[in-house]
Amino acid sequence: MSLSSTTATPAASGEKVIKTFREAISDALWEEMERDERIFIMGEEVGVWGGTYAVTRGFIDHFGEKRVRDTPIAEQAIVGTAVGAAMNGLRPVAEIMTINFAFLAFDALINHAAKARYMFGGQFTVPLVVRTTTGGGRQLGATHSHSPEHLFAHFPGLMVVVPSTPHDAKGMLKAALRQDNPVMFVEHSTLYQTRGEVPVGDYTVPLGTADVKREGKDVTLVSYAKMVHVALDAAKQLEKEGISAEVVDLRSLRPLDIGLVIQSFKKTNRCVVVEEAHALYGVGAEAAARIQEEAFDWMDAPVKRVSTEDVPLPYSRELEQSALPNAQKVIRAVKEIL
């Protein structure tokens, strides 16, 4: 990784403002496009429509059609064309409307974006950011409700970022746009309206770093993206019962900052992983494996997983909600191992 992606740039002033997750991402894109002419956006409905989640509203008027490019509904072409443009000197931000459609571009992401450098002996760089949205809970049925970011993180060569706060989203998107590796930047679709403090002025958050979102001493809750908020909610309720939970936000699935997880675990000796994906072969499985490999002597209980039920997500609201992780499920899991 290049220096710019591993070193945080602190904001010049200590001043902060409240921004939504959407505004934070939009600001990052806007500021970086102002800074670097090579950055452009391409994807479905990013221009005239303003982005299906309104992240790029107003961009086409300011930056023009050359730099804000509406594409046909053609995910293979969107990602593949962005890879070629990145190899030849540009810094594309390719938008895949939802991660469910990224399955259509799996080959372009895995066989091309992630392999172009290694396969030709390091001749090519692919400074590409693929922005996409993830998550269930919106009654969109089985095909539009996946949370498969860990699948994309399986492959060397492709970074996967999964922020949970406006602060991290802005800082990590900026970091992604200032380094030379392909990055999948995954935004949870139910977080766009959430608010949080964002520093005034330019700053970055290094890719591949986890963050402790709440300190505690009895159990470590490991999570990412929206599930960080579920974990924080559970931690708050547990506190009332005298249980102190530490919440570790992975923020990035590749590179994975397992060091911070291990550090936290050595303090609490217990861990529950909260993930919106299915459990099988998931982030929880990885965390459990790494904890027993690297902190076996500190284990006081089995590592538990709270994941989405092993079924396709249904439409009906209550049925869908029953399949997804929630604070009550996390609390139950914590109590099982205390």
Question: In this chain, which stretch among 155-163, 215-223, 231-239, 295-303 interacts with another protein, using CB under 8 A?
Answer: 155-163
> Can residue 66 be called a binding residue for another protein (CB under 8 A)?
yes
> Can residue 120 be called a binding residue for another protein (CB under 8 A)?
yes
Q: Which is nearer to another protein, 180 or 294 (CB)?
A: 180
Q: How far is Cα 152 from Cα 103, in angstroms, rounded to an integer?
A: 10
Number of residues forming the site for another protein (CB under 8 A): 43
Kindly tell me which residue out of 72, 240, 242, 310 binds another protein, with binding defined by CB under 8 A.
72
> Can residue 89 be called a binding residue for another protein (CB under 8 A)?
yes
At its nearest, how many Å lie between another protein and the CB of residue 126? 9
At its nearest, how many Å lie between another protein and the CB of residue 119? 5
Q: How far is Cα 163 from Cα 295, in angstroms, rounded to an integer?
A: 26
Both structure tokens of 191: 């977080």
Q: Which of 287, 249, 250, 274 is nearest to 327 (CA)?
A: 274
> Can residue 99 be called a binding residue for another protein (CB under 8 A)?
no
> Can residue 71 be called a binding residue for another protein (CB under 8 A)?
yes
**From the candidates 75, 187, 275, 276, which is the catalytic residue?**
75
> Can residue 68 be called a binding residue for another protein (CB under 8 A)?
no
The reply to whether 75 belongs to the active site is yes
CA quadruple 252, 253, 258, 262: dihedral sign: positive
The reply to whether 309 belongs to the active site is no
Q: How many residues does the chain have?
A: 338
What would the DSSP string read from start to end of 184-233? EEEEETTSTT-EEEEESS--B--TT--EEEE--SSEEEEE-THHHHHHHH
> Can residue 178 be called a binding residue for another protein (CB under 8 A)?
no
> Can residue 6 be called a binding residue for another protein (CB under 8 A)?
no
> Can residue 131 be called a binding residue for another protein (CB under 8 A)?
no
> Can residue 108 be called a binding residue for another protein (CB under 8 A)?
yes
Span 217-256, contacts to another protein by CB under 8 A: none
Q: Where are the beta strands (DSSP E) in the chain?
A: 16-20, 39-43, 68-70, 91-96, 129-134, 159-161, 183-188, 195-199, 211-214, 219-223, 245-249, 252-254, 271-278, 304-308
Neighbours of 90 (CB within 10 A): 17
The answer to whether the beta carbons of residues 46 and 28 sit under 8 Å apart is: no
Residues that bind another protein (CB under 8 A): 1-2, 40, 66, 69, 71-72, 74, 76-77, 79-90, 92, 107-108, 111-112, 116-125, 156-157, 159, 179-181
Residues annotated as catalytic (active site), given as ranges: 75, 144
